[in-house]
Structure 1
């Protein structure tokens, strides 16, 4: 049984199974949202389904990393640090999260100058569905922080970030619908983006430190 980063094979296998369940849950939600977005003509549902696809890609990367680590760590020919594979996956996932946050930020600022008509009921429904799925995913991915697995931490941060955007959207859209002030939704998106950027930068620093063999303080 191999060990690294304070973890053993049992912990890695447990994290792999957790990640695989989240990938399946997120993928099913993505397909449902895209299907009903197309059949109902709701751009909000369709857009959220596509956005969910980006998280399937990121969390799927974490899942593949566990499978790869499990295989290479059992080969005598492999002499590298298996833990760095997980850290590399976490770093890549953190970079993707940062890019997603920046795209949302740019889109939010553009909405100030080019307002869109919002179908509030559909958008709020989508946000609620997204929030429920991400709460379930966060519960599945919740782990003991003493085990320094940056890969599952990256997946965990992804679902927390998505839950934050869903929560902000619910409050922002509801307030905008009640008070008829559409830009409240935009402000909520901007605030969420800055929080997510902070999370992703922290993740990049942690995983980057491991990859560069920099000791954590």
Structure 2
């Protein structure tokens, strides 16, 4: 395993731990304060613990098999497979956001703006910190680290759009602005995930990546 892969493994582990701690804190405070916003965001964080945890496990597997004399395959394929799987999770995550946002048009709910903005701000700070941890040189990147990086960037984008949308909705009393912001974010995330699926899928099939 190269030095860069070992570095990626350690960075990914730190992000998993940071996200997991945030998840636990938000769920605990969501239960104690009876805040659905905090509880929902804590559960949502769990999906990212799963996705980024998958990236971390992939590096462990690569490290193990690279030391095994019985393994004669290409360890890079393991990272590409993990990246592809993570890309699928990212795509599902984007469609879930879009479906929930569209439902809000037909079934609007009362939003506790200040509480929701606080939750979104916590998520943004955590994801900015995670993005710094997962930042990597392009020439030393792989589909696995890129997938983990896209997950935290996508979540940061969602948090930022939520903050802007909620603030605008609170100031002008137009709740659907928050919904529009969520739909725009999901479209951007879908574009990122499709690009990741094309690149990692091409690597798995040993074909030239589709531009």
Q: Hey, what's the Cα distance between the residues in 2 that align with 1:12 and 1:108?
A: 38
The answer on 1:21 being equivalent to 2:21 is: no
Alpha-carbon distance in structure 1 between the residues aligned to 2:140 and 2:202: 16
Out of 116, 127, 130, the position equivalent to 2:123 is 130
Q: Please give the TM-score of this superposition, normalised by the length of structure 2.
A: 0.98
Q: 1:81-100 to 2 correspondence within 5 Å?
A: 81-100=74-93
Trace 1:90-169 onto structure 2 (pairs within 5 A): 90-169=83-162
CA shift, 1:148, in A, is 3.8
> Distance between the aligned counterparts of 1:148 and 1:156, measured in 2?
10
Q: Which has the higher helix share?
A: 2
Partners of 2:141 and 2:43 in 1: CA distance: 31
1:76 Cα shift?
1.0
1:52 aligns with 2:48: no
Consecutive unaligned residues in structure 1, runs of 5 or more: 3-8
Aligned with 1:140: secondary structure?
A: helix
The 2-side partners of 1:148 and 1:168 are apart by 28
Q: 1:158: Cα distance to partner?
A: 0.2
Among 56, 59, 84, the residue aligned to 1:63: 56
TM-score normalised by the chain length of structure 1:
0.95
Q: What SS does the corresponding residue of 1:78 show, helix, strand or coil?
A: coil
* Per-residue CA distance 1:120-144 (angstroms, 9 max, x = gap): 1110000000000000000000000
Runs of 4+ in 1 over 2 A off after TM superposition: none
Report the CA distance between 1:215 and its aligned residue: 2.4
Instruction: List gaps (5 residues or longer) in structure 2.
Output: none
Q: Root-mean-square deviation (CA), in Å? A: 0.9
SS at structure 2 position matched to 1:146: helix
Give 1:96 shift: 0.2
Cα distance in structure 2, aligned partners of 1:195 and 1:52:
19
How many residue pairs end up in the alignment? 210
> CA offsets per residue over residues 178-199 of structure 1, 9 Å max, x none?
1111000000000000000000
